[in-house]
Structures are given as structure tokens and as C-alpha cells.
Amino acid sequence: MILVTGGAGFIGSNFVLDWLAGGGEPVVNLDKLTYAGNLENLAPLSGDPRHVFVRGDIGDRELVAGLLTNHRIRAIVHFAAESHVDRSIHGPEDFIETNIVGTFRLLEAARAYWSALPAAERDAFRFLHVSTDEVYGSLAPDDPPFAETNQYQPNSPYSASKAASDHLVRGYHHTYGLPVVTTNCSNNYGPLQFPEKLIPLVIANALAGKPLPIYGDGRQIRDWLYVGDHCSAIRRALAAGRLGEVYNIGGASEQANIDVVHTLCRILDEERPRADGKPYTEQITYVKDRPGHDRRYAIDARKITGELGWTPAETFETGIRRTVRWYLDHQPWVANVTSGAYRDWIAKHYAG
């Protein structure tokens, strides 16, 4: 079996669903079910014996040790994290606790388990650490995209905590020989993303007739990676990634935020026109910029393409249309996850 952490979140649940649909080994899914974790994401697996869900914390040493031993885990795919930059600005502590201390404890449990395995299982064991391009900092307009050799220059509590976790993973490989592979990917989008992040937030607000908040001048650039493409890249890295190596994963889709929002408005105008016939762009509202807002991220994915033969299947245009359609078809999912706690966050963060 494999152990997936954070498998009730956005990327983790997409990964578990894809993995099992593709005939992968059974999954033990360890997730704390924070505000971002949602068992409804895994509803298609209800009653499926290949999926064992465990509610718990990656920092719970005894629990993790028991899961590794009892299920004879042959690989860990580590998604669990606090993942939202804006939340890390309002309250960094949970980010330190889960992303740094939690990853440290998970590594300790993995090391103890892996060290005691018979030789053949030791050789086959993998720890795949899922990280972000945000650890590399911010690019100027003409800078080349992030390569795996770029210096780490994290600028937010979130990216600093992910950078720390990447360093720990690296250290466990070089010091103890733990067979790790790290992936650093760009901004994911697609089905099942919690509507606090730009794309699902804009879709939800557009349909609800609410403002579409653009931070600062809206000219910040992100590279957008369709979540299904991210899952296929992780599968490749797990199967064939070289031990101790880092692979950058990107969607080859650099876009300014304001252009992303215009694209969403155009697709919504086509697929679900406003009752008054006006364009959704009328709801665009410029708001105060995020403190320390990184200007540009871009990914050089030549290493994973060259070594592992991975390329993204979706363009931004195809992926974003699929995503909008998924949200239009899953309005009850959106209604269920935008609970009281979600409304409190929106009121606090977008106040004024």
C-alpha cells in the first residue's frame, strides 16, 4: 500500500482518485480534516476496500508509525500542509506546526520504519515530498524561469515553511540515505479546489453576484498547472525519479492575474450568462495588495520532461474551461464547503 498524507485536500484527493482509477496499489489516506480537507472529495471511493481513510495528524508519531508498519507501506506521498499564503500572513503558527514540525515528525517515522525493512523493501521504499515553486521567491519580468538549481528565497510565511520542509527532506536523504524525491510545482487549478484560492473564488463570487477581488494592479504573473497534469507528474516522479533529486513541474502557462480573471469572465459569459445580460467583468474590483506579494513565478520543466518524459496534457484554455464547467456542475459541493468558517474567513480577509 502507499500512504498519502493530505489526501482529502485539493491536490491530494485528485491524486488518490486518479491513482486508484489508474489501477495503483491501495491507499491509506491520512488527513487531519482541517478547514481545507473534505471527505466529500473522496465520495466516489466510499465502500471501496482499496481506500482506507484515517483522520489524524502527520505530527502524531505513534499513529504514523502504526500505519506504516501495519499496512506495510512501500511509499509515502506527502501532500499534507497548510497551503494558503493569505492565511499564513494572518496567522503563521499553523504553517510552522504542520509544514515544518509535521514534516519533521513524518520524516522521523519514515526513517525508523524504512531502516528496519528487509533489504529488498528498503530499496523499493520512496518518500515523495510535494512542494511549491514559491520557495524560489519572485522573478523580474525578464528573468529566466525557476530551475531546480535556483537559490531558495521564500518571501511569505507559507513559502518559508515549505522551504524549511524541503531542506529537512534533503537533509534526511544526504544524512540517513532516506530514498526521497521532491517536486516543486506551480499554481494548480481544477476540480475540488477550495474557493479561497483565486480561480475557484472568482467563479464562486461571479455566480453569487459578488465582487471579483484583484490584489494591487493585477499584473502579478503565475504559471498555471492543471491538477490532473500535476498528478501524472507525481506518478512519474514516484515511479522513476532519481533519489535525492528535485523536479520542477509547470503548466507552461504564464498568465497575469487580471488576464486569468478576464478569461474566467469570458467563459462564464458563454456558459452561464448573467440574468441582466451584462458581462461578469463588471464585478471586477481592485483591492489592497497582499503584503510581500511575489510579482512573478515561472517554471523551467525541462528536467522532468527530459528525464522522465512528462509533459502537461492540458493547455490553460482547455484546462480552465474544464474547471469552470466542473464548478458549474458541482454547485452543491461549493455550497457545502463554503460553511460558516469559510464565511468568517472571507469577512475577515476582505474587510473594507
- Residue 102 lies near ligand NAD (rule: CB under 6 A): yes
Q: How far is the CB of 224 from ligand NAD (least distance, A)?
A: 9
DSSP 271-307: HS--TT---GGGGEEEEPPPTT---B--B--HHHHHH
Q: How far is the CB of 181 from ligand NAD (least distance, A)?
A: 14
- Indicate which residues carry an active-site annotation: 133-134, 158
- The answer to whether 106 and 67 are in contact (CB under 8 A) is no
What CA–CA distance (Å, rounded) separates 58 from 78?
A: 9
What CA–CA distance (Å, rounded) separates 88 from 56?
A: 22
Question: Which partner, ligand TYD, ligand NAD, none, binds residue 76 by CB below 5 to 8 Å per kind?
Answer: none
User: Near ligand NAD by CB under 6 A, which window of 42-50, 55-63, 145-153, 170-178?
Assistant: 55-63
- Residue 135 lies near ligand TYD (rule: CB under 6 A): no
Secondary structure class of 316 (helix, strand, coil): helix
Site string for ligand TYD, 185-214 (x = CB under 6 A): --x---------xx--x-----------xx
What CA–CA distance (Å, rounded) separates 325 from 316?
A: 14
- List phi, psi (to 5°) of 231: -60, -40
DSSP 149-191: TSPP---SHHHHHHHHHHHHHHHHHHHH---EEEEEE-EEEST
Torsion sign across C-alpha atoms 157, 159, 162, 166: negative
Secondary structure class of 58 (helix, strand, coil): coil
Question: Which partner, ligand NAD, ligand TYD, none, binds residue 29 by CB below 5 to 8 Å per kind?
Answer: none
Our CB check for ligand NAD shows the closer of 80 and 280 to be: 80
Pick from 27, 37, 100, 159 the residue near ligand NAD by CB under 6 A: 37
Secondary structure class of 146 (helix, strand, coil): strand
Strand pairing report for 221-226 and 187-189: parallel
What CA–CA distance (Å, rounded) separates 350 from 310?
A: 39
- Residue 233 lies near ligand NAD (rule: CB under 6 A): no
User: Near ligand NAD by CB under 6 A, which window of 26-34, 44-52, 254-262, 292-300?
Assistant: 26-34
Integer angstrom CA distances of residue 145 from 102, 139, 166, 186, 234: 30, 8, 19, 11, 20
For residues 115-134, which are near ligand NAD according to CB under 6 A?
130, 132
- Residue 334 lies near ligand NAD (rule: CB under 6 A): no
Give the CA dihedral 102, 105, 106, 109, nearest 10 degrees. Answer: -160
Question: Which partner, ligand TYD, ligand NAD, none, binds residue 139 by CB below 5 to 8 Å per kind?
Answer: none
Count, residues near ligand NAD per rule CB under 6 A:
30
Q: How far is the CB of 352 from ligand TYD (least distance, A)?
A: 14
Q: How far is the CB of 315 from ligand TYD (least distance, A)?
A: 19
Count, residues near ligand TYD per rule CB under 6 A:
12
Our CB check for ligand TYD shows the closer of 73 and 299 to be: 299
Question: Which partner, ligand NAD, ligand TYD, none, binds residue 220 by CB below 5 to 8 Å per kind?
Answer: ligand TYD
Q: Determine the residue with CB nearest ligand NAD.
A: 9
Secondary structure class of 117 (helix, strand, coil): coil
Secondary structure class of 210 (helix, strand, coil): coil
Our CB check for ligand NAD shows the closer of 114 and 194 to be: 194
- Residue 218 lies near ligand NAD (rule: CB under 6 A): no
For residues 70-99, which are near ligand NAD according to CB under 6 A?
79-81, 83, 98
- Residue 29 lies near ligand NAD (rule: CB under 6 A): no
Point out which residues bind ligand TYD (CB under 6 A): 85, 187, 197-198, 201, 213-215, 220, 222, 257, 290
